Each structure stands twice: as C-alpha cells, then as structure tokens.
Amino acid sequence: MHDFKGQTVIVTGGTRGIGKGIAEGFLKAGAKVIVTYTTNEAAAAQFKQDNSQFAENIDIQKLDVTKYEEVEKFFKYTDTKYGSFEVLVNNAGIRKDSVLAMMKESDWHDVMNVNLAGIFYMCKFAVKSLMRKRYGRIINISSVMERYGFEGQANYAASKAGLSALTKSLSKEVATRGITVNCVSPGFIATELIEDLPDKLRESYLARIPLKRFGSTEEVAACVLFLASKEASYVTGSTLEVTGGL
C-alpha cells in the first residue's frame, strides 16, 4: 500500500466508473482528492455518500475538460485553495462508436475533444504548476484500443493512440523537473462505458481475454497508485497495461 498522506490528487471524471475506483484508492491511501465531473449530479452525490468517512479529504468540482477557459479557472482555483498538488490523473473519457463510413463528423470531434484536447488542456496548466514544485506525477488513462484498433472505434482508438504519443513527448519535456508522465491502459473494465455492449459482442470479448473476465476498477486503481507513488520515480513515458492478458 502506498502512502499519499499530505498529497493532493486531481482525478478527472472521478465520481463514477474507473475514475471513482481511482479516487477511492487515493482516499484510502490518505490523499486529499479533487474529483471532477461534468453533468451527472446523481453520481457525484452518490460518490460523496459512498465516501462519507473521507469527507474532509474530498473536493468535488464541476469541470468540462473540453473548455479551455474552464480548465484554466480550475487550476487557478486549486492553486489558490491548495497552493499546489502532486498528482493529476486524466481519466475523463468518452466513446461514440460507429463504423468509420457512417461516423458523424460530430462523433469524431466529440471524442477527440474529450479524450485528447481535454488532456492537452489539463496537462498544459498542470505542468506549469508542477514545474514550480519540481515534483509531480501525471497519469493518463488510455485504452488497449490504442494498440489494436477496433471496428467501430476509429475515433476512440485514434484519440487513445494520440494520448500515448502526447504522454511520451511530454514525459521528455518535463523529466528534469522531477515530473513523470505515464499511461495506464485498461482492457475491458466493468463500468457504464461498456454496459451497453450487445450480449454477443460482450461474449466475444470475454472469449478473447486470457483471464476470461472483465477487470475491476480497483485493479486499474492499483496500477495508477503505483505510478503516482514516490517509489515509481524511474518510470516515465511508459504505458502500464491492465488487460487480463489481451
């Protein structure tokens, strides 16, 4: 178990799904956690209720990562309220699947905006703050799709492959400032994001996974906490896959 007492952690899209598992992992490890969400008020309220024992360490903020000015304002808020932070987990992500020939232009741009531009905005302002501190951990949640590609997911796979390239480039820019930047790349994790999969597709995915089950949010969180820990000081620009062997 890593110790994050005295550290402030930001988790985007942290009130449900994988982000919730990650945020809860940091809370259990003693961190103060700023969790963001966009529109799902019910999930935000549920997160607060589920984690009432950590109430004094939770700060829930509404933030749309696709809005540059909102992101800038968010980091001004964290700087003013907390002085600084140590860890940023860029978890917020969406998928809007369809075969490329039928894909709506808006579905391409929406996915790119959240999964790639949003992370650029978050990293840009985070790095400015972390460079002053000369310490920081940035973990970007990618997807195994960036490596395989998948029918119906050209936009999603491209956004995640772009994220991997962004991660590698940024890691080189900030290495001498004590900041590491890595990806955690989950396979199929049981969350709402994959809840709508048709049964046949779900079964075919399960058949392909060597461990023969979908992963849990806690299993992703364990990898994120490792990369966010002081002990992971020599790991940067890398991708840690959590895929059940895919």
Binding site for ligand NDP (CB under 6 A): 12-13, 15-19, 36-40, 43, 63-66, 91-94, 114, 118, 141, 143, 186, 188-189, 191-194
**Residues paired with residue 182 on neighbouring β-strands, in sequence order:** 139
Q: In what order do the strands lie in the sheet with 87-90?
A: 58-62, 32-37, 8-11, 87-90, 136-141, 179-186, 239-242
Tell me whether residue 33 or residue 114 sits nearer to ligand NDP (CB atom): 114
**Residues paired with residue 138 on neighbouring β-strands, in sequence order:** 88, 181
The Cα 159–Cα 65 span in angstroms is 15
2 near 225, Cβ under 8 Å? yes
**Does the annotation mark 135 as catalytic?**
no
The Cα 138–Cα 131 span in angstroms is 12
Tell me whether residue 118 or residue 136 sits nearer to ligand NDP (CB atom): 118
Tell me whether residue 66 or residue 129 sits nearer to ligand NDP (CB atom): 66
**CB environment 207-226: b (16+ within 10 A), e (fewer):** eebeeeebbebeebbbbbbb
- Candidates 156, 121, 113; CA nearest to 138 is 121
In angstroms, give the least distance from the CB of 234 to ligand NDP.
25
Tell me whether residue 19 or residue 162 sits nearer to ligand NDP (CB atom): 19
115 near 163, Cβ under 8 Å? yes
In angstroms, give the least distance from the CB of 217 to ligand NDP.
7
Instruction: Please compute, for residue 60, the number of CA atoms within 13 A of its CA located in the half-sphere on the CB side.
Output: 24
- Candidates 210, 217, 219; CA nearest to 191 is 217
Tell me whether residue 192 or residue 231 sits nearer to ligand NDP (CB atom): 192
In angstroms, give the least distance from the CB of 62 to ligand NDP.
8
118 near 36, Cβ under 8 Å? no
Residues with active-site annotation: 156
